[in-house]
Structure 1
Amino acid sequence: MLLKHSALYFVACGLSGAVNLLAIPVLTRLVSPEAYGQYALVVAGVGLFNVVLFRWLSLGLLRFLPAYKEEQDVFLSTIFIGFVGLVVLTGISTVIALFFMVDPLLRWFVAIGLILLWGSAFFELNKELVRCRFSPSQYGLLALLKAVIALGVGGGLAYLGWGVNGLLYGLLLGFVLPGIWQVWRDWRTVRLRLASSALFRQLLFYGLPLTATFALKFIVRSSDRFLLGYMVHSEATGLYSVSYDLASNSLGIFMMVVNLAAYPLAVSALEQKGKEAANLQLSKNAILLLTISLPAAAGLALLAPNIAEVFLGQAFREAATGLIPWVALGAFLSGIKSFHFDLSFQLGQYTMGQVWVALVAAVVNVALNLWWIPVFGFIGAAYATVVAYAIGIVLSLIMGRKVFVLPWPGKEAAKLVLATFIMVLALLPIENLRGGLQLAAQVSWGTVVFGVLLWLLNVGGMRGHLSRLIQRVP
């Protein structure tokens, strides 16, 4: 079930991930580092307010929709009315705030950011809804439509000279247009009279601690962009953001695909079969997560110079060569923490523990950014992120064991570390090749070597899985 769902999500999300990766080389050739920096700051601001104000709704939807399978009209009405209420509150607050802003550029970014906030929040609700219904194809379609519209419209407008505004308009349409069909299909039964105050409180009490956690995680992930913009310049933010997005999104899409399939299966196993079944599922999840992420992170770090040359515009390449290895390491640590170790708090229903871990990591990240950015420049921000995530993993491991003890497949993890190390050795002779075809050859060779090692080491009982799969083929 895990492999099947992961494969479906990989196919479903792979196309949108490819489009998002394509957007980076396209946009870095259409806008300057300063314009990309402004775009990155607006997107980061929207992401922060989305996490703080709206994220608890989608988290509650993901966690409790299966429990309200027979009362979906009540559940979805409560979710939607809560969303509309937050839209009204944020709209009024923003209008008031705009009266006190003098800089017209800042006022414009705040106004367009508010509309982006509403669009992104509703888009996230729709994605989590189809995820709860175990519909990878629809999930992937939503993500693909958003990516294609954002790139097509944003890139087209940037080409016509609209700069950062063109990118923001494209992103806005990417959020809004895919949700139109969802309104008719999934939200048409919403009624104000069906909304439940008791259910709303349940969603709120479950989601608020996780909201605080995600907000603090967001600080670790994105505070460096704001600090770079403030302490250096928006151009430095642009150089850093492009490299961060390229490496983090490349690795993140693989880890997210595993989590999209794995987390609902773990919750279902715990609720329906008990802790022993959940531990078995969690162990399988961890093996698959490491199988995907370890070689990908190592490959990104090793091939960073060629990746930068192939994917980025000339103005961004030098910075990316030094940044990508550190960002890849940070993204790996972030994924392992979020998609494995943090599950102790969620499955054990003690989400406040996750808040404390995230708070420490956020404080460490901001403090190190303030210290290291003046000393090392934007590479200092990457150092700070790695250290913050490493500390977060240690704290999640220690505190999480008191809530819900997670299994750790130590033997299989050791096999995967060995396989990754041998793969890196196999890539060293062709590391210095440059160009698109050469990068494809490097990735293909690394994939083949790692795949053979998975077979030889029989990671996660791979031979048995493949044998059963072959037997099913007519």
Structure 2
Amino acid sequence: MAVIVAFVLNAGLSFGLGLLLAMLLGPADFGRFALATAGAIVLNTLLLEWLRLSATRFYSDRVRLDAPWIRHSLDRAYGLIGLALMAAAAVALAVGYREGPDGRAAMLAGTMVAAVGNGVFDYHAALARARFDGRLYLGLMAAKNVLAFVGMAGAAWLLVHPAWVLAAAGIGPILSVLMLYGPLRDPASSPVGARIRTTWRQFLAYGLPLIAATAVYQLLPFLNRGVIAAHGGFAEAGYFALAADVAGRSITTLGTALDLLLFQFAVRAEEQHGRAAAEAQVARNAAVVVALLMPCAVGFWAVLPAIQGLVVPEAYRGPFGFYAGLLLPGLFCLAIMFYALNPVFQIRRRTLPVIAAAGAGLAVNGVGLLVLPGLAGPAGVPLAQTAGLCTGCAWLGWRALTGPDRLRLPWGTLAGAAAASLAMGAALAPLRHLEPARALALQLPIGIALYGGLVWIFDIAGLRRMVEGALRRAPAVPAE
């Protein structure tokens, strides 16, 4: 429950913060900030993500006590890479001091600080999840979101420059980890140097294919934003970035929350019952992911005009709805890859297929950038991104669901989720053209009631049984 509360907190504050920064910075500076943020995410992925993935896969409460070198190896690697990045940021800041705040070096320094801060936070959040310590995870998320909101919004308001906002985006997460470092620590033990080096090799063999694929998928928006900025200016890149960020968070935030819970269940199943039990859990997890993300995607499409009219800053209206609608199918496919298909290969520790899928997606995106803008105008770039992400999803799905080791999914459940989502979309579609406030007031309860009712009646993905089990396990509250 604490993880779900943390998800709701993070989703709400992240959504509000993105809109607030877009308003305070304006389209051009928000475009610069979005481009640098995409760069920080790629940098974090390339240098630190293999360690976070290894923490998720190899660290647990049992490992915490019986194999302390796992945590020592993670801590030492994070320390070395983090110090190197901060030193590089200091050099860039010194160069930027001579150029002034509008120079590229200042933006580069802020990008590096943001990469380090978010990488350190993601690592410690992964440790809390691996220990199934929901209270600690909730505390981390709450501290990080409050500090990020205050710091980034304050920097955008007082200093009105994206480099300072980037720096605040990195400092806030680091402070949140320091605030809760006591409960995050493991029992004292003596590290063994040779064992740490062996463990690093294990982490690299497991994590490098995953981060290579993730870096490719993060390179797509970075590349596409750069193409838009080159052709239409930073303001147009800002329009594209806000649409991509809001649409992406509408899906991937829930997917991340599900992954936080579900993948650890698969790891625990493998520890306790073996590989077959872990793969069965992964199949159940995939059904739950699809059953919850599909209505999110359909629901976001339905409420998109209302969101644009109510909460999107006026300077972004029009381009926001145009870009978000075209990006949505690809962002849904990206979420399915990350949270339903990638865990298949993670639990098997055979992660090379995800690189092939990412390469196929990048190739299609690249061809689309060469062809589609000339044919479709401004729609060409989001169409190229969507085509690339759909191709990657199809490739990875084919690898996971065919062959002698194929994952056996509950196809009836997936068909039920698709039918319920289509029914919800058909019911909400006529309301898209109403006045925004009225449309949203009608769409949200109707959509939740319709999809939730179908899930409850037909027990799609076993969600009704999960809810009933959680209610039975909940402690009774004594009457006063």
Q: TM-score, normalised by structure 2?
A: 0.89
2:313 matched residue in structure 1: 313
2:328 matched residue in structure 1: 328
1:394 matched residue in structure 2: 394
Query: Alpha-carbon deviation of 1:402?
Result: 4.6
Contact 2:89/2:113 (<8 A) preserved: no
Quickly say closer, same or farther: Cα 1:211–1:469, change in 2 above 3 A.
closer
Distance, in Å, in 2 between the alignment partners of 1:294 and 1:132 is: 27
Moved more, 398-407 or 19-28: 398-407
Distance, in Å, in 2 between the alignment partners of 1:21 and 1:388 is: 25
Query: Alpha-carbon deviation of 1:470?
Result: 6.0
Identity %: 22
Quickly say closer, same or farther: Cα 1:194–1:449, change in 2 above 3 A.
same
Distance, in Å, in 1 between the alignment partners of 2:186 and 2:463 is: 45
What are the Cα deviations for residues 400-455 of structure 1, in whole angstroms up to 9, with x where unaligned? 34584212221111111111111122213322223346414311211111111222
* 1:278-357 superposed matches below 5 A: 278-357=278-357
Contact 1:412/1:459 (<8 A) preserved: yes
* 1:44-443 superposed matches below 5 A: 44-66=38-60, 68-71=63-66, 73-91=68-86, 105-187=103-185, 194-195=192-193, 196-373=196-373, 375-400=375-400, 401-402=402-403, 404-436=405-437, 438-443=439-444
Query: Alpha-carbon deviation of 1:293?
Result: 0.9
Query: Alpha-carbon deviation of 1:336?
Result: 1.0
Output the aligned Cα RMSD: 2.8
Distance, in Å, in 2 between the alignment partners of 1:164 and 1:54 is: 23
Contact 1:350/1:403 (<8 A) preserved: no
2:455 matched residue in structure 1: 454
Counterpart code for 1:85: L
Query: Alpha-carbon deviation of 1:133?
Result: 0.8
Contact 1:294/1:420 (<8 A) preserved: yes
Contact 2:9/2:142 (<8 A) preserved: yes
Contact 2:294/2:421 (<8 A) preserved: yes
Distance, in Å, in 1 between the alignment partners of 2:25 and 2:235 is: 11
Contact 2:48/2:78 (<8 A) preserved: yes
What are the Cα deviations for residues 54-81 of structure 1, in whole angstroms up to 9, with x where unaligned? 1111111111113733345422222121
* Bigger RCO of structures 1 and 2 (CA < 8 A, at least 6 apart): 1
Moved more, 180-189 or 317-326: 180-189
Query: Alpha-carbon deviation of 1:208?
Result: 1.8
Counterpart code for 2:391: I
1:3 matched residue in structure 2: none
Query: Alpha-carbon deviation of 1:179?
Result: 1.2
Contact 1:345/1:403 (<8 A) preserved: no
Query: Alpha-carbon deviation of 1:320?
Result: 1.2
What are the Cα deviations for residues 121-180 of structure 1, in whole angstroms up to 9, with x where unaligned? 211111111111112332233223222222222223323352324422431332221011
Distance, in Å, in 1 between the alignment partners of 2:187 and 2:281 is: 35
Distance, in Å, in 2 between the alignment partners of 1:466 and 1:53 is: 39
8, 11, 14: which one aligns with 2:5: 11
Distance, in Å, in 1 between the alignment partners of 2:115 and 2:399 is: 33
3-state secondary structure, aligned to 1:31: helix
Counterpart code for 1:410: W
Moved more, 359-368 or 161-170: 161-170
Quickly say closer, same or farther: Cα 1:468–1:394, change in 2 above 3 A.
closer
Contact 1:240/1:378 (<8 A) preserved: no
Distance, in Å, in 2 between the alignment partners of 1:337 and 1:138 is: 28
Quickly say closer, same or farther: Cα 1:219–1:191, change in 2 above 3 A.
farther
Query: Alpha-carbon deviation of 1:27?
Result: 2.3
Quickly say closer, same or farther: Cα 1:348–1:455, change in 2 above 3 A.
same
Distance, in Å, in 2 between the alignment partners of 1:320 and 1:448 is: 28
Counterpart code for 1:254: L
What are the Cα deviations for residues 269-327 of structure 1, in whole angstroms up to 9, with x where unaligned? 23421344234322321222122111110111122111111221011110111122232
Distance, in Å, in 1 between the alignment partners of 2:405 and 2:339 is: 14
Contact 2:432/2:439 (<8 A) preserved: no
3-state secondary structure, aligned to 1:342: helix
Counterpart code for 1:242: L
Counterpart code for 1:393: C
Moved more, 246-255 or 86-95: 86-95
Q: Which runs of 5+ in 2 are unaligned?
A: none
Counterpart code for 1:160: L
Quickly say closer, same or farther: Cα 1:126–1:327, change in 2 above 3 A.
same
Quickly say closer, same or farther: Cα 1:194–1:459, change in 2 above 3 A.
same
Moved more, 435-444 or 188-197: 188-197
What are the Cα deviations for residues 382-409 of structure 1, in whole angstroms up to 9, with x where unaligned? 2122211221122112333458421222
3-state secondary structure, aligned to 1:162: coil
Distance, in Å, in 2 between the alignment partners of 1:470 and 1:68 is: 31
Counterpart code for 1:198: T
Moved more, 460-469 or 74-83: 460-469
Contact 1:24/1:242 (<8 A) preserved: yes
3-state secondary structure, aligned to 2:59: helix
Counterpart code for 1:115: V
Distance, in Å, in 1 between the alignment partners of 2:82 and 2:410 is: 44
Distance, in Å, in 2 between the alignment partners of 1:134 and 1:51 is: 24
Distance, in Å, in 2 between the alignment partners of 1:37 and 1:168 is: 13
Quickly say closer, same or farther: Cα 1:462–1:201, change in 2 above 3 A.
closer
Quickly say closer, same or farther: Cα 1:289–1:167, change in 2 above 3 A.
same
Moved more, 30-39 or 77-86: 77-86
How many residue pairs match? The answer is 468
